[in-house]
Amino acid sequence: MQRRLSQEDAAFQQRMRDFFTTEVPADLRERWAAGGEPDPDDMRASQRALNKADLAVPHWPAEFGGQDWTMLQRHIYLQEMQAASVPPPLAFNANMVGPVIAAFGSQAQKERFLPPTANLDIWWCQGFSEPDAGSDLASLRTTAVKDGDEWVVNGQKTWTTLGQHADWIFALVRTDPDAPKKQMGISFLLIEMSSPGVTVRPIQLIDGGHEVNEVFFDNVRVPADHLVGEVNKGWDYAKFLLGNERVGVAPVGSIKRRLADAKQYAAAVQTEHGTLLEDPLLAARIAELEAQVMALELTVLRVAANSREGKPDPASSILKLRGSQLQQDVLELIVDIAGPAGLDWSTDDWEGLAAPTYLNFRKASIYGGSNEVQRQVISSGILGLRG
Amino acid sequence: MDFSIDTEQKALRDAARELASRRAPQHGEGDVPVGPAPHDADTWSALAEVGALGLPFAEDVGGFGASAVEVSLVATELGKAGVRTAYADALIAGSLLATAGSDLLESVTDGSALVVPAMAEPDRAWSITTSSVTAEGADDSWKLTGEKSPVPYADAASHVVVPASVEGGLAIFLVEGPTAAGGGVTFDGTAATLLIGPDNGAAALSQAINLGIVTLCAEALGAMEGASTMTVEYLKTRKQFGVPLMSFQTLTQRAADMYVSLELARSTALFAAMAISDDPSDSTTASRAKVVVGQSGRHIGQESIQLHGGIGMTAEYAVGHLVTRLTAIERTFGDTRQHLASLASTLSDHEQVDILS
């Protein structure tokens, strides 16, 4: 066992810290740190700065911009990026569709899509969930029917995050409605958002923001070679993608950043007996969160090191479950620190953003496989409890 | 950062596992002892034989030159098997003897002397900076007055190590052949040897307690693992309404939460052992570990009994004994409240918790 970073890893950490705090513009990082709705131009600028330094898609194959990093280095990279409030590479590009195309796409698809995906020249969104297929994703009903050398797509996707900015959508579509199991007969299709028959409708959320959308497909014609891998094998690719999604899914660096912010905020709020940071109840709550975040980060390091490449590791469910809980706990703490000042949403200072952000992040235990689904993965996949 | 153990550590762990399985208490029908366990001389000499008692102390003071990491591996196995010993207590005493350069340490590591700390006091919350026991004297002639209680294993101990107030602060004393009564030790002008004077007493005590805390955290980790494993097994095999308990999703989801608590506690306990090996004075990490392990132990303990149903309440079944031990550990060497209060008072010392530097 070794507690300290090796010299090599410590140098790597310093290199990341230097890059993120000097090469990504400070004004952009400040806007990101403040929270609220992400600015797509900032996200593009950030990802392109990272990509220029080969830091946008480190976990991709080397020929498409990947880095031969250990899991520890990957953690350090994410941690330093989040600590410096650098907008991360768009997850739909970097963590989802990119690795799927790299692993299962044709040579032509790799050459066509991977460079612009890494550089955010193509903005991807995810077409998985449907009104009747959320956690039970395999129940999806959007169809794709072969007509000559095109697929004709009909149906509806929902919860399509940032779809209003997207150039392309990667969608799971049913290509064999007669398959014996509902997981079979699903394919992974790449669809241009500007195609005739695609309609995007915004869904407004309780924080007032426009983050997710419904996407409708009405006889959308998609060239046959936009299907990734083999027809009817889309479920396998989706599982691969969701496994990737859970790597780094505990945003430890962001949680720590927000908790450090919370301490600053608390130190600035006066009470009858000093500042809120000196209030015994609040201070104990922060101390407890620091201990719990430490336990999470240590578990990220311990579990990630054992992560089986390419396969969803059920242990990563621990990180999703606990990471989302602690993220929510810290945002709840901040809205509590804001107190009555948080009732006014009209300002864009931390007090004004506290309540909408708290409400927005109730999503964290729902998306990416709800926490109930993660518990199911742990109980059946790790503990062998199968009813 | 690396959590894996090497070949030598594996061998030590295996030896401890074997010892623990032989020494594990046998539960069954009849009159099973419950609550705190008395000192068991046979288990103690077995621990001495595998070298467990001197692991963290340097060779030149009579130890075996390993670290708190090795101690943790042993303690986890004891905890898992439900073997209750004075291990953490003896290591605290040993640490203070090592700091003092006392010859007695060799008798501690070979198991011939049982030396335990006398820390807790009646009607006082846990403290390592104050003591209501007072010492008076000079040079080779010191006398202690006051009461320490409870003092686990005092009835079997050859010596107790006692923090006592002297002019100038807290000093550490050694008392031979303590008179134990009612679970505690009373000093009434009792002759004592000065181990560490007031200039270094509090710091040495704090380091010793940190070692005790990581030892207890590891033991708790073992107990949590034992209780979780038993609970999962029970859900698989026990039938109700004609189906195994694991057919009920509410139960399997709770078992999943227990597993999450267990793995978070495991990471933390291992890290704390590494941190204390690196820097014995890192009380902040020790306190964070005590908090995480305390809360996990409470969660896993309570759920283990609940998911077992009535059987979890019985003395004839092991799981309740593990929960008993977890309950005691959370209240030993500072409880969750005390460690949280200490962490809360130092929040402004750091911007955030940095484990990678």
The answer to whether the CB atoms of A375 and B252 lie below 8 A apart is: yes
Domain end position, chosen among B149, B183, B199: B199
A115, part of any domain: no
A106, part of any domain: no
Give strand pairing partners of B185. Answer: B148, B180
Domain end position, chosen among A231, A266, A285: A231
From chain B, pick out residues whose CB is under 8 angstroms from the CB of A298.
264, 267-268, 270-271, 355
Phi, psi values for residue B313, rounded to 5°: -85, -10
Give strand pairing partners of B2. Answer: A2
Distance from CA of A16 to the nearest CA of B (A): 14
For position B167, which CATH number holds? 2.40.110.10
Q: Give the pLDDT confidence score for residue A310 in this predicted structure.
A: 47
The answer to whether the CB atoms of A372 and B341 lie below 8 A apart is: no
A253, part of any domain: yes
Domain end position, chosen among B62, B97, B113: B113
**C-alpha distances in angstroms, A155 versus A73, A159, A172, A218, B99?**
42, 14, 11, 7, 74
Distance from CA of B184 to the nearest CA of A (A): 32
What is the rounded distance in angstroms from the CA atom of residue A301 to the CA atom of residue B266?
12
**Same domain for A221 and A307?**
no
**Same domain for B244 and B123?**
no
- The whole domain housing B315 covers 203-346
A242, part of any domain: no
Rounded to the nearest angstrom, the gap between the alpha carbon of residue A167 and the centroid of all alpha carbons in its chain is 18
- Any alpha helices (H) in A37-178, and if so which ranges? 40-52, 71-83, 91, 98-104, 107-118
For position B99, which CATH number holds? 1.10.540.10
Q: Give the pLDDT confidence score for residue A2 in this predicted structure.
A: 86
* Helix (H) or strand (E) run with residue B141 in it: strand B141-148
Distance from CA of A387 to the nearest CA of B (A): 4
- Any alpha helices (H) in A84-203, and if so which ranges? 91, 98-104, 107-118
**Same domain for B211 and B157?**
no
Q: Is the peptide bond before A223 cis (omega within 30 degrees of 0)?
A: no
A237, part of any domain: no
- Provide CB contacts within 8 A for A356, sequence distance 6+: A36, A207, A208, A209, A345
Domain end position, chosen among B92, B113, B134: B113
B277, part of any domain: yes
A28, part of any domain: yes
**Same domain for A80 and A181?**
no
**Same domain for B92 and B121?**
no
Distance from CA of B246 to the nearest CA of A (A): 5
**Same domain for B207 and B334?**
yes
The answer to whether the CB atoms of A295 and B348 lie below 8 A apart is: no
**Same domain for B161 and B217?**
no
Q: What is the pTM of this model?
A: 0.94
Residues of chain A with pLDDT under 50: 308, 310
A310, part of any domain: yes
**Same domain for A85 and A149?**
no
Q: Hunting for tokens 């902040």 — which residue is that? A: B284
pLDDT > 90: what percent of chain B? 94
B1, part of any domain: no
Question: In the predicted model, is pLDDT for residue B271 greater than 90?
Answer: yes
Rounded to the nearest angstrom, the gap between the alpha carbon of residue B275 and the centroid of all alpha carbons in its chain is 17
Instruction: Provide the pLDDT confidence category of residue B62 given band limits of 50, 70 and 90.
Output: confident
Residue B162 is classified by DSSP as: E
* Model confidence pLDDT, tens digit, residues B315-353: 999 999 999 999 999 999 999 999 999 999 999 999 999
Length of chain B: 357
The mean pLDDT of B206-213, rounded to a whole number, is 98
For position A146, which CATH number holds? 2.40.110.10
From chain B, pick out residues whose CB is under 8 angstroms from the CB of A379.
246, 252-253, 255-256, 259
Domain end position, chosen among A66, A89, A112: A89
What is the rounded distance in angstroms from the CA atom of residue A327 to the CA atom of residue A364?
8
The answer to whether the CB atoms of B264 and A322 lie below 8 A apart is: yes
A294, part of any domain: yes
**Same domain for B175 and B308?**
no
For position A288, which CATH number holds? 1.20.140.10
Assigned token pair, A273: 């007996």
Which of A1, A267, A384 lies closest to B5 in CB terms?
A1
Q: Give the pLDDT confidence score for residue B12 in this predicted structure.
A: 97
**Same domain for B105 and B228?**
no
Residue A247 amino acid letter? V
* Model confidence pLDDT, tens digit, residues A96-154: 999 999 999 999 999 999 999 999 999 999 999 999 998 889 999 999 999 999 999 99
Instruction: Provide the pLDDT confidence category of residue B272 given band limits of 50, 70 and 90.
Output: very high
**Same domain for A261 and A376?**
yes
**Same domain for B342 and B207?**
yes
Which of B2, B340, B348 lies closest to A288 in CB terms?
B340
* Model confidence pLDDT, tens digit, residues A168-199: 999 999 999 999 999 999 999 999 999 999 99
What is the rounded distance in angstroms from the CA atom of residue A326 to the CA atom of residue A183?
33
- The whole domain housing A328 covers 248-382
**Same domain for B109 and B123?**
no
**Same domain for A64 and A144?**
no
Assigned token pair, B334: 């500072």
CA atoms B120, B121, B127, B129: torsion sign: negative
Task: Indicate the average pLDDT of chain B.
Answer: 96
Query: Torsion over CA of B146, B149, B155 and B159, rounded to 10 degrees?
Result: -50
**Which one has a higher pLDDT value, A136 or B71?**
B71
**Same domain for A312 and A259?**
yes
Q: What is the CA radius of gyration of chain A?
A: 22
**Same domain for B234 and B325?**
yes
**Residue B74 and residue B52 in contact, taking contact as beta carbons nearer than 8 Å:** yes
Which of B3, B266, B347 lies closest to A1 in CB terms?
B3
**Same domain for B84 and B126?**
no
Nearest to A355 by CA among A340, A367, A366: A340
Number of structural domains in chain B? 3
The SS3 assignment for A317 reads helix
B354, part of any domain: no
**Residue B52 and residue B88 in contact, taking contact as beta carbons nearer than 8 Å:** no
Helix axes B249-278, B201-237, angle to 10 degrees: 150
The mean pLDDT of B291-309, rounded to a whole number, is 98
Number of structural domains in chain A? 3
Task: Indicate the average pLDDT of chain A.
Answer: 93
Domain end position, chosen among A46, A65, A89: A89
Question: In the predicted model, is pLDDT for residue B246 greater than 80?
Answer: yes
Question: In the predicted model, is pLDDT for residue B184 greater than 90?
Answer: yes
**Same domain for B156 and B219?**
no
Q: Give the pLDDT confidence score for residue B61 in this predicted structure.
A: 85
A186-192 and A150-157 strand pairing: unpaired
